[in-house]
Amino acid sequence: MRRAGRRSGVAVAARDHEPFALPAGEVQLVSTHGAGDAFTGTLCAALAAGSQLRRAGTMANETAALHVSNAD
């Protein structure tokens, strides 16, 4: 996965999959600290649990968005 732009979301490419993009959600940015960890952890957990790549990417994107908009 690769960031597709400042606010545009994430581009996804993997073997045996057609590349696709997932849009970024609109959030009030508080801090980007830990956003990559939140994204990667959720992506790995979702894939390990058997989620399809698109669903896992969506879950990871949503988790990172929630993380960066939360002050705690």
- Of 19, 34, 45, 18, the closest CA to residue 10 belongs to 19
What pLDDT tens digit does each residue of the chain (72 aa) get? 444 445 568 888 889 889 999 988 888 888 989 999 999 999 999 999 999 999 999 999 999 999 999 877
Domain boundaries, the chain: 2-68
Residue 3 near residue 10, CB atoms below 8 Å: yes
What's residue 7's pLDDT?
A: 54
